[in-house]
Amino acid sequence: MLTLYNTQSKRKSAFHPLDARNVRVYVCGPTVYDDIHIGNARPMVVFDVLVRVLRRLYPRVTYARNITDIDDKIIARANKNNESTAELSQRMVVRFHEQMDALGVLPPDKEPLATHHIDAMIALIATLLEKKHAYVAEGHVLFHVPSMPSYGALSQRKREAMLAGARVDVAPYKKDPFDFVLWKPSHKDMPAWPSPWGKGRPGWHIECSAMSNACLGTPFDIHGGGIDLLFPHHENEVAQSCCAFNCTNMAQVWLHNGYIVMNDEKMSKSLGNDVRLCHLLATYPPQTLRYFLLSAHYRQPTPWQEKALKDATRALDTLYEAQARLAAVAPLKDTPDSDTPDSDASISDIQHALADDLNTPLALAHLHRHAKTITKNVTGAPLRAAVRAFRDAQDLLGLVTLSAEDWFQSNTSTTTESIDETFIRSMITQREEARRAKDFQKADELRDTLYQQGIILEDTPQGVQWKRRR
């Protein structure tokens, strides 16, 4: 059984799909005007784990994650760069895909682009106008919030309370301060699409209503995104979708991840305190970043600090040490479960932890305990459980997916440049000769030389192993 914390009900409850034959998930993807930062990467990794768990539990899952390739930030950046919005967004999409791939984020089943769904948006807006939930004013089409009595139900805000905030944009053409734009006119330097209301472009929220409906139908099971999207973005999506498609809710479960926090402050590009994923990927192994993002519960605000990546790397070292030993005694791919399939005992504690609202820190704690049983050479049932746990770590968490050799010798590292493997081998051979001759001084000099170049030697019963120093 899977339980999830629903932002709307503010509690954990058992997940029951609307259609168990096809579980449908939608996650708000990136706006491709610039490289993403580590905080942006969090929902990508977290909901990747969610989808992996859902695939374990249900025969079919349809996962849609959109790309916003038209919006005011993209327009502004493209103009600044002297390129078209299409050129800019396509370039950023390529980079985004490369980075997701590096992080082990599996591609979604559907990845709709906003610019490919303009027709659907226009149709949706027309429906809202027809149903008197929207109106035209000065070239804009606006959603009329008072036309929807239940507006605010998702984020549980009261109209009066929000008005008191006095931070609501009150454009003169709005009938109500909360009305929001569905369609807006484009000016000279802006991309524009023809519509019944003149040439223009969509508002921010409409794309998700149109694309989730196109990809999944409405309502669907799970809608995810960062907590900052709860209001107004998701609230407005609900308004659009429910009013257009006649349903009481757009998605039955709403999941929101917390922020990565920089010095007690939300990490964001507008605050200028963001750490780019591409920079981190140039310095740290991708598995380290993934481990970091899964080492805290997804709903908790999580402090950013460079040290955390060092810790994550060391923790992965421990896991890969165990994995190397496991590979020697019980290859993951070839070891069948000896426990009864489908019995409760055959479900790993990793899976149990993840099924409880994606408790990834607990899952990692379990994994470390299994690693310990492996390095302690325990056999029998505990070893079988460890094999299962490591398999689930790969399949569900997307961790420990490399060979130990690749992990320890990969050259994405803070301290090493690329180095000649032939040279390492020859140094190892020379050192072995010196050791056989009991010339330990020379042997240690050779080892030190390699150490200076970022290579650590280990004398194991199976022979000399080398690792990169981190």
Of residues 434 through 463, those in contact with RNA by CB under 7 A are 435, 440, 443-444, 456-460
What is the C-alpha to C-alpha distance for residues 155 and 230, in angstroms, rounded to an integer?
6
Binding mask of the shown chain, residues 110 to 149, with x at each position contacting RNA by CB under 7 A: ----------------------------------------
Q: What angle do CA 106, 107, 113 make, to 5 degrees?
A: 155
Residues in 371-410 at the binding interface with RNA, rule: CB under 7 A: 372, 375-376
290 touches RNA by CB under 7 A: no
Q: DSSP state, 31?
A: B
* Residue 39 in contact with RNA, rule: CB under 7 A: yes
Which amino acid appears at position 437 of this protein? A
Binding mask 310-339 for RNA (x = CB under 7 A): xx--xx-xx--x------------------
Q: Counting contacts by CB under 7 A, is residue 35 touching RNA?
A: no
Rounded distance between C-alpha atoms, residue 322 and residue 184, angstroms: 57
Q: Does 43 bind RNA (CB under 7 A)?
A: yes
Which listed residue (55, 56, 110, 297) binds RNA by CB under 7 A? 297
158 contacts RNA (rule: CB under 7 A): yes
CB 426 within 8 A of CB 442: no
Beta bridge partners of 466: 457
Q: Which of 246, 254, 297 is nearest to 154 (CA)?
A: 254
> Which tokens in the block code for residue 322?
């165990």
Regarding 198 and contact with RNA (CB under 7 A), the answer is no
For residue 3, give every residue at least 6 positions away whose Cβ sits within 8 Å of its Cβ, in sequence order, or none: 12, 13, 14, 15, 355, 356, 357
Q: Which tokens in the block code for residue 255?
A: 């999941």
* Nearest residue to 28 (alpha-carbon basis) of 246, 297, 169, 224: 224
At its nearest, how many Å lie between RNA and the CB of residue 249? 19
Q: Residues 345 to 364: which contact RNA by CB under 7 A?
A: 356, 359, 361-362, 364
Q: Does 108 bind RNA (CB under 7 A)?
A: no
Query: Closer CB to RNA, residue 180 or residue 197?
Result: 180
* Residue 5 to residues 57, 180, 222, 297, 298, Cα–Cα distance (Å): 18, 28, 11, 12, 11
Which segment (18-26, 28-36, 189-197, 382-390) binds RNA by CB under 7 A?
Answer: 28-36
Of 53, 70, 267, 402, the one binding RNA (CB under 7 A) is: 267
- According to the binding rule CB under 7 A, does residue 95 interact with RNA? no
Q: Is 424 in the site for RNA (CB under 7 A)?
A: no
Closest approach, Cβ 209 to RNA, in A, equals 14
Nearer CB in complex with RNA: 17/145: 145
296 in contact with RNA (CB under 7 A): yes
| Residue from the set 17, 30, 200, 219 that interacts with RNA by CB under 7 A | 30
Residue whose CB is less far from RNA, 246 or 414: 414
Question: For residues 72 and 130, which CB has a smaller minimum distance to RNA in the complex?
Answer: 72
Nearest to 466 by CA among 428, 417, 423, 420: 428
Stretch that binds RNA, among 98-106, 134-142, 307-315, 386-394 (CB under 7 A): 307-315
Provide the minimum distance between the beta carbon of 244 and RNA in the complex, in angstroms, as a whole number: 20
Site string for RNA, 48-87 (x = CB under 7 A): -----------------------x-x--------------
Helix (H) / strand (E) containing 115: none
If one asks whether residue 268 binds RNA (CB under 7 A), the answer comes out as: yes
- For helices 381-392 and 360-375, what crossing angle results, to 10°? 140
Q: Is 343 in the site for RNA (CB under 7 A)?
A: no
To which residue do tokens 């810790």 refer? 311
By CB under 7 A, tell whether 229 contacts RNA: yes
| Binding region for RNA (CB under 7 A) out of 151-159, 206-214, 278-286, 329-337 | 151-159
Q: Report if residue 279 touches RNA, rule: CB under 7 A.
A: no
Token pair, residue 466, equals 């080398």
Q: What is the C-alpha separation between 213 and 220, in angstroms, rounded?
A: 8
Least distance CB 434 / RNA (angstroms): 8
Residue 303 is a binding residue for RNA (CB under 7 A) = yes
For RNA, which residue of 98, 119, 265, 433 counts as binding (CB under 7 A)?
265
DSSP character string of 340-385 = PTTSGGGS-HHHHHHHBT--HHHHHHHHHHHHHHHHTT--SHHHHH
Residue 326 to residue 68: CA distance in whole angstroms: 43
In angstroms, the first-to-last Cα distance of the chain is 40
